[in-house]
Amino acid sequence: MAKTTVRTRLDIIKQLSEEFGVPVEQSRQIVRTVLERIIDAAIEHGRIEIRRFGTFKIAHRAARVARNPRTNQQMRIPPRYVLTFEPSEIVLEKVAQHYGDENEASKPLAPPAEKQKFPFNADEQ
């Protein structure tokens, strides 16, 4: 796997600010609002689909018994609800193009391709 670096919300905010020539505070507000709306919609409807990007769903996890790997002690994990994300085929293909096919582990990784815009609109392909 290629070396990865951690991107933070602040990195995205700064990048949007530079790309669109708007103040950082305005970019911060936009990013915060978009993320809050995704969470609110998922909570309210149980599922939110962003076409050509992916689907966020609220999923129920049943209670289970787990084992602490350090102490080997069993512990009960209560049932809970979690937010899951399932990427679209377009996103999966883009990731596979960047990182390569896992089945070809012996093949050296190619350098990352030139930065491409993500086609949110069908006519941008």
C-alpha to C-alpha distance for 62 and 26, rounded to whole angstroms: 41
Q: pLDDT of 37-94, one tens digit each?
A: 999 999 999 999 999 999 999 999 999 999 999 999 999 999 999 999 999 999 999 9
Residue among 60, 64, 61 at smallest CA distance from 47:
60
Cα atoms in the Cβ-side hemisphere of radius 13 Å centred on 82: 8
Give the pairing of strands 54-61 and 47-50: antiparallel
Q: Give residue limits of the domains in the chain.
A: 8-45
8 Å CB contact between 91 and 53: yes
Using the predicted structure, report yes or no on whether residue 4 has a pLDDT greater than 90: no
Q: pTM of the full predicted structure?
A: 0.67
Q: With 90 as the cut, is the pLDDT of residue 99 above it?
A: no
